[in-house]
Every structure is written in C-alpha cells, then in structure tokens.
Structure 1
C-alpha cells in the first residue's frame, strides 16, 4: 500500500507545497533513491504528476510531486505566474528538500516531468548535476508552444508590445489581467473553430471531471507570458545535458509540440546514454492519465530509473 505525506519546503522567499509518495514497506532507516516529479503548465500536483508519482512509488521509488511557485497550494504572490526560471529552480528546491531527508540517498536522485514539466526538468538538469537521471513524458517547451501559438514573428512582436503596455498599466496601479490557459469548455472550442488535438484534449482533461481540480483554476497572469516567450529548454543541451536521459512521446502530434521536442532533445542532447520511446496511437493527453499510455510509460520509467539510480 502506498502511503503519502503532504509537506512544505523552502523556496527562495516562501514555501512550496509537495506530496511524498512512499513505496510499500518503506524503511526510513535505509537510504533510498528518490524522484522529483514536475507537473505541466496550468496543472497542480493533484493531477497527472501524482498519477506518475504514485505509480513509481508502487514500483519501489520514493517520489515527490509538488506545486509550482505562485500556483496551486504553494505560496508566492502575485498568483498565477508561470515563470520558466522559477519553474526550473522549483525543481532544485525540491532536491534541496530531498537531500535533507535521512532516508534519501543524495547520490541517487532522478527527475521527471510531464508536458512543460518535462521541459523544465531538462532545463534544470543542464545545470543541477545532483539530478543523476532525467526523464520527460510528453515533454514540451512552453516557450516554443506559445511562440508558435502567437503566430509569425511580426505578430509575436506585436503581442509582446501589447504585453508590455499591460505591464505598464499594472505598474501604474491598474487591474492585473488574468487570462485562461485554455478554453473553458468544449462549446468554446467549437465556437472558436479549434481543431488541434492538443487543445481539444486539454479541455477534456482540465475542464471536465476527468482531471479538473480546485487548485488548477485555468488562470495565468498575462504579464508573465513574455517570460515563457523568451524561454528555450534546448539551449546548450549539446554541452550541458549529459545525464542518462529517457523521453516518452505519443505518435499523434499536436500544437504543444511534445512529439517534435522528443526527437529534437534526443538528437541534440549530450547524454551518452539516451533513449526515445514513441508509443503508437497515443496522444499528448493520453500520457496524462490513460492506462493504455501511462502503464507502458511507467514501465519504461521504472526500467530506466532502476538502471541509472
């Protein structure tokens, strides 16, 4: 039986909320390998990251899922910020916490993430070599996805100028602009004429009983979006991403780019031990919670972390 423990741990100026998942018959007098599991954008630890943390605990790993700074049950003001630098450092703070636990072997810490959490994990692993093995499940670059969502370069620059004007408004005391990550329901998707599989399935996951959670309210602070637009987790991966690496994607590509990023990171990473698993007939959001995708992904992750931790 898997036991869990809700925890708070230090970030730079405030606390992050996390949940430890313990393997069956856990012995606190023995040092164990441990995993940090990072959630996608717009998500929280109660959703897909806890699914993976729980299943990896069932397979013998101590796993820590947590909420990003400024989001979910973690602290940080103003709320609803998505900052890739913070998201990257959150992973480092999670490791800082794990290495203080007497039952964690600091030389056997791995990290994985789903969707943008996978991109942030790759970004962290480039500079934090306490991460001994790196995994991405449908890993995506929030920067790439949003740069492409806003269209051609001239449109992107126009959007950045608009975001700058909104930041000036807020600096002068105006109301903050909070926008939705995705449409609120299937009716909005249809009305907007959206046909992209990733957006359609995102709404089905986050905005229905399938995956909806009170701490994942579909809100993002508009003025934090430029922080994503300038972010690229693949920068310098040829030189800096050297740990053993596994990437798992489905072969049904969508606009969030995990299929493409999987190949790019696999081909460019400096890791000597690396592998890419492409699951046939699987979409990005199948890998969030659908057994036909999650089960083979967990099997691959278990094999990988057992080998390298």
Structure 2
C-alpha cells in the first residue's frame, strides 16, 4: 500500500511538537482507519526507529504518527535536551488528541507503539489514557530502572549541586547519553553489546540524525531516576498488550523489562514474543528482526483495533 508522509505539528501543553504523519493513500475515502502513535527511545527522534516502524505499519493500512518529544529534536520547549518523563507521557495523550481531529481516523481504534524507553512511556501513558485501545512495545525499557543502576543517590547529590550552580548563573550542564563515537567507546573499554550497538546506531550513518544529537540536560535526569514506567501496571494497564524483545541481552535490560511488564500488567489479553538471535538494536532497524516484529504487531493490532 502506498503511503503519504506529512510533516505536521500539534500542541502539547503549549509546546509545538513536530511529527511525521503517515497516511495510507485514499485514507480520506475510508473515514474509519485505525491509527497508531509511535514513541521513540530516549535520545532518539521521529526520524529513527519509531519512524521506521511507523512507515512499515502505515504500508499495512494504519495511520501512524511518530513525533519528537517535547524539548527535543524539531519540537519546541525549553530548556533544550530535557528528558522529562511527565512530558514524555503527556506528549502521547496530545498525539492522541491530534489523531482524533482527523476525519479518516476512527477514534475508537487508536493504539500506541513504543520502542526502548518509548515502550515504557507508552505503557505508562496507556494506564490513564483510555482512548488508547491497544499497547505494543518493541524492546520496551523502564528508563527509571536503567538509571537507578550504580549509585543513584550520588548522582542525585551531583544533580542537586548542579541545579544550585545553575540557579546562581552557571551555564546548563549538557552531557551525552552515550559515548560520542566508537573510538571513545573503545578507549573506555566498553564491551557491552547494547552500549556498543547504541554508539554504532546513533553516531554512524546507520541511524544518525541531526534531530538526535546525543545531548542531554543533566539535571533533568533527577526526574528520570525517580520514574517507574511500570508503577500501577498491575491495576491500570488493562488494554491488550503485545511485548516484543530480543533474546540477546545487554545492559539496557529490555529482555528483563519485557518479562516484568508481562508479569505485572493487569491485561488479560497479553503476549510476550521473543525474537531469537536478535539484540536490542537489531530490533531498531535490521531487516529480518524488524520484519518479524512488524508481522507480530500487524496481527496484534488487526485483532485489537
């Protein structure tokens, strides 16, 4: 199915959020198409893996919307490079708002798909956003859990000092999500598959985008550390749920988080699909594992939207 791509903007709590709307051709004649909000990983943008899944699902007949998080990419919001779990979750509801204004979208057939941290945000949003009728995650990760590894109290103490310095006039501290290049990764002796492949994906021609500059406002990580994407899933996450992970495990822990979400979610209609031989980043853009994931998601959304 041929698809038309439209660059759009929608309002999210006063911030203009930039998105890519993928519309199957002749959608206007249908008037009742299902739609899927596609949520990108931490540090990522609409042009990368969320956009890949959005484009592929649109070819199968879904209206899809991938967007840059508030404060990031081509979206507005200050301070720049902020990772705000509250805003990330609320952005999803505003994306749903936008979809409900389109005549060719059936407001009773809206789903969400999140990749990596976007998967955690998608699950969290669905707990209180009842317009979301089906939830899909690909290597979904609980970004709070990831950032509570090591010594989170020491990190919070450092953030506290930095906030005081900035309140007194110091420049904002902008750090990196991952090593800046493969050489830096090698020099640090990093061998974990998730981190090594993250550097390959984000800093080379494989997935590099100007809207994903590997920049992070350091003080915003305080709220990330205190965030639990799966909190109350055992009570509030009741929608149909499709979880997809790879069986090659790394530091980001999406395999572990996938199992935790599956076990915790109150959904009675839920499935955990493990792509054998696939790593976290294989499921971002590699043809064979992505094809398997899309086939599984297509069957899931066909049944539940």
Same fold (TM over 0.5): yes
Which residue number in structure 1 is paired with residue 260 of structure 2?
264
1:273 aligns with 2:274: no
Taking the aligned partners of 2:265 and 2:257, their CA distance within structure 1 comes to: 11
Which residue number in structure 2 is paired with residue 144 of structure 1?
145
Which residue number in structure 1 is paired with residue 24 of structure 2?
23
1:231 aligns with 2:232: no
Taking the aligned partners of 2:263 and 2:302, their CA distance within structure 1 comes to: 23
- Out of 218, 227, 235, the residue aligned to residue 214 of structure 2 is 218
Taking the aligned partners of 2:29 and 2:36, their CA distance within structure 1 comes to: 16
Which residue number in structure 1 is paired with residue 174 of structure 2?
178
Q: Deviations over 1:208-257 (max 9, x none)?
A: 00000011100000000111100111111110000000000000011111
- Out of 192, 199, 203, the residue aligned to residue 195 of structure 2 is 199
Q: After TM superposition, give the deviation of residue 24 of structure 1 in Å.
A: 3.7
Which residue number in structure 1 is paired with residue 80 of structure 2?
79
Which residue number in structure 1 is paired with residue 205 of structure 2?
209
Taking the aligned partners of 1:137 and 1:207, their CA distance within structure 2 comes to: 21
Taking the aligned partners of 2:211 and 2:152, their CA distance within structure 1 comes to: 30
> Which runs of no fewer than 5 residues in structure 2 stay unpaired?
none
Paired residues, number: 304
SS of aligned partner of 2:277: strand
Preserved contact between residue 79 and residue 221 of structure 1 (Cα < 8 Å): yes
> Which runs of no fewer than 5 residues in structure 1 stay unpaired?
none
Q: After TM superposition, give the deviation of residue 25 of structure 1 in Å.
A: 3.6
Which residue number in structure 1 is paired with residue 91 of structure 2?
90
Q: After TM superposition, give the deviation of residue 288 of structure 1 in Å.
A: 0.4
Q: After TM superposition, give the deviation of residue 29 of structure 1 in Å.
A: 5.1
SS of aligned partner of 1:194: coil
Classify 1:187/1:240 alpha carbon distance in 2 versus 1 (closer, same or farther; 3 Å): same
Taking the aligned partners of 1:230 and 1:254, their CA distance within structure 2 comes to: 22
1:187 aligns with 2:188: no
Taking the aligned partners of 1:7 and 1:24, their CA distance within structure 2 comes to: 17
Taking the aligned partners of 1:14 and 1:184, their CA distance within structure 2 comes to: 29
Preserved contact between residue 27 and residue 104 of structure 2 (Cα < 8 Å): no
Runs of 4+ that moved beyond 4 A: none
Classify 1:165/1:236 alpha carbon distance in 2 versus 1 (closer, same or farther; 3 Å): same
What is the root-mean-square deviation of aligned Cα atoms in Å?
A: 0.9
Q: TM-score, normalised by structure 2?
A: 0.98
Q: After TM superposition, give the deviation of residue 179 of structure 1 in Å.
A: 0.1
Preserved contact between residue 46 and residue 213 of structure 1 (Cα < 8 Å): yes
Q: Deviations over 1:50-105 (max 9, x none)?
A: 10000000111000000000000000011000011110000000001111111111
